């Protein structure tokens, strides 16, 4: 070198300038992926809940059928049986993966045992998972006040 000072001009590229857009694209892909996972979970939960509701409906219907069976098998004493069961909580029965609860009430005066001609309301609640289905059936006397002469009236 001949003693002259040589100044080289260095191009000052910002280091990491490619990193910022790459990080933005990676974040966008991550957000899209997480959104797809969340949407799938929500669809799965909705499907499960609608399936549970359908099963809870069947459990409630089983509760009503069971109440009708109790009435049919005990023509002279079913009012006393339901009244005795009403002292505690609702009559609950496990069935399969769910359960049902059954209650019998007298809509006229609230006393099942005082008058055999009063109507009776059977209320069944079917439970399955987070689903709950309530079914109500009203039985009214049909004709003369004989035991077991009721007709069903669905509300």
Please report the pLDDT score of residue 114 as a whole number: 85
Instruction: Yes or no: say if 85 and 67 are a contact pair by the CB < 8 Å rule.
Output: no
Helix or strand run (H / E) with residue 26: helix 19-73
Each residue's pLDDT tens digit, 69-89? 888 888 878 888 887 776 654
What are the residue boundaries of the structural domains of the chain, listed by start?
A: 53-154
Q: What are the backbone dihedrals phi and psi of residue 31, each rounded to the nearest 5 degrees, phi first?
A: -65, -40
Using DSSP, state whether 53 is helix, strand or coil: helix
Q: Give which of 122, 124, 101, 120 is closest to 112, Cα–Cα.
A: 120
In Å, what is the CA distance from 134 to each residue of 57, 58, 62?
Answer: 8, 10, 12
Each residue's pLDDT tens digit, 86-139? 665 456 677 788 989 898 888 888 888 888 888 889 999 999 988 899 999 988
Q: Which residue has the higher pLDDT, 146 or 66?
A: 66
Please report the pLDDT score of residue 86 as a whole number: 65
The whole-model pTM stands at 0.63
Instruction: Yes or no: say if 51 and 127 are a contact pair by the CB < 8 Å rule.
Output: no
Please report the pLDDT score of residue 145 as a whole number: 44
Please report the pLDDT score of residue 153 as a whole number: 47
């Amino acid at each position: 070198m001949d003693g002259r000072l040589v100044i080289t001009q260095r191009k000052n590229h910002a280091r990491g300038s490619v990193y910022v857009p790459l990080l933005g694209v990676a974040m966008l892909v991550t957000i899209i992926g997480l959104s797809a996972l969340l949407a799938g979970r929500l669809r799965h939960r909705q499907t499960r809940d609608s399936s549970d509701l359908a099963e809870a409906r069947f459990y409630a219907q089983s509760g009503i059928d069971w109440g009708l069976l109790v009435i049919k098998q005990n023509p002279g004493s079913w009012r006393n049986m339901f009244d005795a069961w009403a002292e505690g909580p609702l009559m609950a029965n496990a069935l399969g993966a769910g359960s049902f609860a059954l209650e019998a009430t007298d809509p006229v005066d609230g006393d099942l045992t005082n008058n055999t001609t009063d109507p009776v309301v059977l209320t069944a609640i079917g439970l399955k998972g987070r689903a709950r289905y309530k079914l109500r059936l009203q039985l009214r006397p049909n004709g003369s006040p004989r035991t077991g002469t009721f007709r069903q009236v669905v509300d």
